[in-house]
Each structure stands twice: as structure tokens, then as C-alpha cells.
């Protein structure tokens, strides 16, 4: 349908009704290209409707953005890291006025650059959300310009700090909603692969190690991905939990309180330990070694790095044992290394941990996997899902 021409600005209010463009409501002020009142949204309002914006714009510096940001945000820094340092130094060493003079000029040039680069193709009804650290001058300046152009601009009151408060509160409250089915099993038994097979079969899964970019042991760092910051991990976990249906079971791997350097929320660990239904994943030792060789084979390209990580086990296993593992690695006998570590180190630790945290572990339903092949995992996933119906 073709849109009718809008009445002139002086027309009676009844004549200036909102209209639809496609399936989207278009306010008459937007259609006419007029500035709209700048909206200020609370962190709770923003968190509840992240998909309601055409763009989420982080006005903070690149280093702040890299530490963490709202899901889906893009970075339009009004001051970069070096400029922030300059302005901050002037504020402390000279005066607030001098800092504002210099900072305002920097902000103006940076905003002009962002407008030149990014808004040429934006339609009149484009609706961005802008935020900074606390909802102050950085986001206020950028949001003002966008609003004056005529975009339906919103600003996050309280900024990233307010959103971070919502994330922390939700991570304390949300785990209690879910019925967790906990995949428990010794190192190399295929828990992660089974979790992925369950996801492919249509199950709800929470992949904590995927979110943390770490396999959860002293050797668990990934060769091609660094772990996120704690704040970024929290935001990823918040986003993952937000997308789950509390009316359906959620499959998750058993984890300790930390995955690599990252701390899991106490509420999540407590819920998994106290209420999680344990599924005991079993696999023959030879097949477990084969999986470990597949998952950790990249250490063959960095033997010295592998041996340095093993140094961290001296206090637990003794220098003689650790030196034996290091010698096997340097000799290229990786199957012997992993078999020895699996039986002498990982299995005793895991069994004690399971007995301590999951009262029903010994009596839990067993999921027998012959190996880690795709057909075996797919069949096990189908069987587990069939039991839910």
C-alpha cells in the first residue's frame, strides 16, 4: 500500500496519525524528518527488549568495549583510549574546564567521523540505542546528534554499569528456573561431544565450556581462542540462559566452580549440584584415550608449552611423576601420556568430585558410549530425548 502524504505541521493532531511502513509503526514526526524526544530507558527495560533496536551503539573506548559490551553492540567510540588518557590527565593536572575544552573538540570530530562513515544508508525510522559507562556525557553527546538528525534514538540510563547490574541479578535468580540434566563422566568420555549431539537432535543445551572457550582442566585452553573476560563470560551466559525455555529440560556438562580462569555463578553451580538429574557417561578406556588424542593433539606442535602446564601438577602428583609425563611427551608417546594422566590423575580427582557434589552419582543412569564417533553419539542423543517424551 502506498503511504499517503502527511498533513503539514500545523494540521490538527487527528490528521497527524501514526502510519505503518510494511509491518512497522512509523510516527509522523519520523516520516516528516523531525527530531523526536530523546528516550531514556532503564537497564531493565533495555535488557527485556534488546531485539527492539536496529543498532546498539557502545560509545565507550575500544578497550572498554573489548572487556565486555551489550549483546550485539557495535563500537562507535566518542573518545579512543589515548584520547581518554589525555583528557583524564588534563582533568587531574590542569583543570576540569581545560579537560572539557579539549575533550569536546575530540568528541565532536569523532562523532562527525562516525556519522560520515555509518549513517548514509540509514532510513528515517532507524532506531538506535546508545550507551556508555554510566549513561553520561559520552553517550549523551552521540545520542543528541542522532536524535537531532531525526532518528528515533534511545539512551541507556545508567549505561553499561546499569546493564551489568541486571546481568548479575539475573544470573543469581535464573538458574532456579531450570531442570538441568547433568552429563557427568570421566575425562575423555565424550561428554562435550554428546552435548553437541543433543543440540543437533533438538535438545536444549547449555554449553558452558563453549561459552568459556576452555575445556575445564589444566590442559583445557584452546589453541585458537583466548578466554573471554569474566564480565564478557557473564554476559554470554546471561544471553544463553535468556534464550532457554524453562518448561523444557536443559542438558549441561558437570563442571567445577571455575572453567579455566572464569568463575561460574554460585546459583548455577548450586542448582546443578542440588537439583540436577545426573546422567553418567561411560566409555571404554581405549576409546577415551583416542578422544584425548583428537582433542589435545595440537600439543604435539608445542611440547614445551605442554610441559610447562604439567609443572602446575607437581604439588599434586609429585615431581617424579610429572617428569615421567614430560619425558613421554618429548619422546612423542602421546598415547602413553594421556593414558597415564587419565588413570593416575584425572579419574581419581573426578570420582572424588562427583561423589562430593552429586549424591546420586554412583546410582545415576548410565549412558554407554562405545566410542566418540558421530553415529554412536547421535544414537545416544536420540535415546535420551526419547525418554523425555
Active site residues: 132
The set of cell numbers assigned to 195 is 552435548
Q: How far separated are the first and last CA of the chain, in Å rounded?
A: 46
- Furthest-apart CA pair in the chain: how many Å? 89
Classify strands 250-253 and 204-206 as parallel, antiparallel or unpaired.
parallel
> 359: number of CA atoms within 13 Å, CB side?
3
- Do residues 253 and 183 lie in contact, with contact meaning Cβ atoms separated by under 8 Å? yes
Q: 361: closest CA among 348, 377, 350? A: 350
Measured at the CA of 214, the angle between CA 212 and CA 219, to 5 degrees, comes to 160
Please give the torsion angle defined by the CA atoms of residues 348, 352, 355 and 356, in that order, rounded to the nearest 10 degrees: -170
Classify strands 74-75 and 262-263 as parallel, antiparallel or unpaired.
unpaired
CA dist 238 and 61 (Å) reads 23
The set of cell numbers assigned to 154 is 534511545
List residues bridging with 19 in a β-sheet. 26
Q: 58: closest CA among 114, 112, 139? A: 139
Extended strands (E) in the chain: 19-21, 24-26, 39-41, 55-58, 74-75, 128-131, 154-156, 180-184, 204-206, 250-253, 258-259, 262-263, 277-282, 365-368
CA dist 389 and 385 (Å) reads 7
- Do residues 285 and 339 lie in contact, with contact meaning Cβ atoms separated by under 8 Å? yes
Map grid coordinates 549440584 to a residue.
Answer: 273
- Do residues 129 and 154 lie in contact, with contact meaning Cβ atoms separated by under 8 Å? yes
Amino acid at each position: 500500500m502506498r503511504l499517503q502524504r502527511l498533513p503539514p505541521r500545523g494540521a490538527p493532531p487527528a490528521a497527524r496519525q501514526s502510519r505503518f511502513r510494511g509491518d512497522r509503526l512509523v510516527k509522523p514526526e519520523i516520516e516528516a524528518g523531525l527530531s523526536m524526544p530523546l528516550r531514556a530507558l532503564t537497564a531493565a527495560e533495555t535488557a527485556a527488549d534488546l531485539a527492539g533496536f536496529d543498532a546498539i551503539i557502545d560509545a565507550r573506548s575500544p578497550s572498554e568495549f573489548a572487556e565486555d559490551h551489550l549483546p550485539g553492540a557495535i563500537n562507535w567510540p566518542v573518545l579512543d583510549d589515548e584520547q581518554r588518557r589525555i583528557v583524564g590527565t588534563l582533568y587531574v593536572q590542569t583543570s576540569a574546564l581545560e579537560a572539557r575544552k579539549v575533550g569536546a573538540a575530540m568528541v565532536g570530530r569523532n562523532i562527525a567521523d562516525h556519522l560520515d562513515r555509518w549513517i548514509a544508508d540509514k532510513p528515517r525510522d532507524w532506531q538506535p540505542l546508545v550507551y556508555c559507562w554510566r549513561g553520561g556525557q559520552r553517550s549523551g553527546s552521540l545520542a543528541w546528534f542522532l536524535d537531532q538528525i531525526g532518528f528515533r534514538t534511545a539512551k541507556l540510563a545508567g549505561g553499561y554499569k546499569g546493564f551489568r547490574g541486571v546481568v548479575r541479578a539475573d544470573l543469581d535468580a535464573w538458574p532456579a528456573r531450570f531442570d538441568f540434566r547433568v552429563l557427568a563422566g570421566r575425562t575423555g568420555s565424550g561428554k562435550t561431544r554428546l552435548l553437541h549431539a543433543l543440540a543437533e537432535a533438538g535438545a536444549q543445551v547449555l554449553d558452558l565450556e563453549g561459552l568459556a572457550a576452555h575445556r575445564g582442566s589444566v590442559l583445557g585452553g584452546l589453541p585458537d581462542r583466548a578466554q573471554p573476560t569474566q564480565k564478557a563470560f557473564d554476559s554470554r551466559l546471561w544471553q544463553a540462559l535468556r534464550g532457554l525455555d524453562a518448561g523444557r529440560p536443559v542438558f549441561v556438562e558437570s563442571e567445577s566452580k571455575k572453567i579455566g580462569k572464569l568463575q561460574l555463578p554460585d546459583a548455577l553451580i548450586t542448582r546443578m549440584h542440588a537439583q540436577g538429574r545426573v546422567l553418567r557417561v561411560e566409555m571404554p578406556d581405549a576409546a577415551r584415550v583416542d578422544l584425548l588424542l583428537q582433542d589435545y593433539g595440537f600439543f604435539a606442535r608445542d611440547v614445551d608449552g605442554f610441559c610447562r602446564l604439567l609443572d602446575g601438577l607437581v604439588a599434586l602428583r609429585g615431581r617424579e611423576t610429572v617428569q615421567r609425563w614430560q619425558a613421554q611427551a618429548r619422546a612423542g608417546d602421546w598415547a602413553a601420556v594421556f593414558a597415564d594422566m587419565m588413570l593416575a590423575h584425572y579419574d581419581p580427582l573426578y570420582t572424588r568430585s562427583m561423589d562430593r557434589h552429586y549424591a546420586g552419582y554412583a546410582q545415576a543412569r548410565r549412558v554407554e558410549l562405545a566410542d566418540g564417533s558421530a553415529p554412536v553419539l547421535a544414537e545416544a542423543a536420540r535415546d535420551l530425548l526419547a525418554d523425555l517424551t
